[in-house]
């Protein structure tokens, strides 16, 4: 289960990374632009990572041999990205530019990318439909969009299990899925809401996964000290990720979609 090329060897991104890695492989085969052993840059895919920060996904994608452009509003995050890419030996495949989802085409090309990542963006933008629409418009024909956003069900369940029943109900009924004024997350989505945004952007949904279904509910000390617990929990997460009953209570929702 442990793979040094994963964005991290933990539960937070493992399910998304496996899905994304497979999608990149399929897209590369479909375009006939497969990187040779992760070394060839010429002919690899062009990937855009909106809100990609310090490169949790961008650097591993570049390790696979693809060219990655990261758009992020934070200069500090982009500096960390540059350092991380250099340490990983992929500085020539990773480019960071300062910008955001609203003004995306001020800094990148419309319709210029084979794959676009929109991870942890829709929770924070003023207009999620516009943000997702811009991400979709950055795709080439038949391109692939990967969307990762906060899930409402996971927050409701977590507040209830912590004994904060009023906050759990508040999140359940609040239009933005927030449990109160102290909630650090500006917005959460149900699967129907997120899928609706993707379809409204003119994309066809290929797969939906629940991310961190169990991971945020299991005591960290158990995972850290019990032999084999991390791998077993990861296998459980992967097994439950595509099941609708478990997606509805996931901390995050991942949608993989394609442009016609």
Q: Read off the pLDDT of residues 13-47 as tens digits, 9 standing for 90 and up.
A: 889 999 999 999 999 998 887 665 544 444 599 99
3-class secondary-structure state, position 194: helix
What residues contact residue 165 under an 8 Å CB cut-off, 6+ apart?
Answer: 159
Which residue shows structure tokens 């997350």? 185
pLDDT mean across residues, the chain: 90
Question: How large is the C-alpha radius of gyration of the chain?
Answer: 18
Q: Each residue of 117-161: pLDDT tens digit?
A: 999 999 999 999 999 999 999 999 999 999 999 999 999 999 999
Phi and psi torsions of 65, nearest 5°: 110, 5
Query: What is d(CA 226, CA 170) in angstroms, rounded to the nearest whole number?
Result: 35
Tokens matching residue 21: 């890695």
Angle at 54 between CA 17 and CA 125, to 5 degrees: 85
Tokens matching residue 42: 């010429």
Query: What is d(CA 57, CA 70) in angstroms, rounded to the nearest whole number?
Result: 10
User: Which residues in 217-246 are b (16+ Cβ under 10 Å) and which e?
Assistant: eeeeeebeeeeeebeebbebbbebbeeeeb
Whole-prediction pTM: 0.90
Model pLDDT, residue 225: 79
Model pLDDT, residue 37: 54
Share of the chain above pLDDT 70, in %: 92
Position 10 confidence tier, pLDDT thresholds 50, 70, 90: low
Model pLDDT, residue 6: 38
Written as one string, the DSSP assignment of 206-251 is EEEEEESSSTTTS-HHHHHHSTTHHHHHHHHHHHHTT-HHHHTT-S
**Cα–Cα nearest to 113, from 128, 95, 92, 130:** 95
pLDDT exceeds 70 at position 165: yes
Position 78 confidence tier, pLDDT thresholds 50, 70, 90: very high
pLDDT exceeds 70 at position 3: no
- 256 contacts 145 by C-beta, under 8 angstroms: yes
pLDDT exceeds 70 at position 112: yes
Q: Report the Cα–Cα distance between both ends of the chain, in Å, rounded.
A: 34
């Amino acid at each position: 289960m442990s793979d040094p090329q994963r964005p991290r060897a933990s539960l937070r991104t493992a399910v998304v990374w496996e899905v994304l890695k497979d999608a990149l492989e399929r897209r590369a085969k479909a375009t006939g632009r497969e990187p040779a052993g992760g070394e060839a840059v010429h002919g690899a895919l062009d990937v855009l990572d909106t809100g990609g920060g310090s490169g949790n996904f961008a650097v591993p994608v570049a390790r696979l041999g693809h060219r990655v452009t990261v758009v992020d509003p934070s200069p500090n995050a982009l500096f960390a990205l540059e350092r991380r890419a250099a340490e990983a030996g992929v500085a020539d495949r990773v480019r960071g530019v300062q910008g955001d989802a609203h003004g995306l085409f001020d800094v990148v090309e419309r319709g210029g990318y084979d794959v676009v990542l929109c991870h942890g963006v829709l929770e924070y933008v003023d207009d999620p439909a516009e943000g997702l629409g811009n991400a979709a418009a950055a795709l080439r024909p038949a391109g692939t969009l990967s969307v990762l956003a906060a899930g409402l069900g996971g927050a409701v369940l977590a507040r209830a299990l912590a004994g904060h029943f009023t906050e759990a109900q508040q999140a359940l009924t609040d239009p933005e899925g927030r449990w109160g004024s102290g909630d650090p997350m500006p917005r959460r989505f149900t699967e129907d809401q997120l899928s609706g945004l993707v379809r409204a952007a003119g994309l066809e949904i290929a797969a939906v996964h629940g991310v961190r279904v169990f991971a945020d509910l299991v005591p960290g000390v158990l995972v850290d000290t019990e032999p084999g617990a991390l791998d077993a929990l990861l296998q459980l997460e992967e097994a439950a990720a595509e099941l609708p009953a478990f997606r509805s209570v996931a901390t995050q929702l991942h949608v993989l979609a394609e442009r016609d």
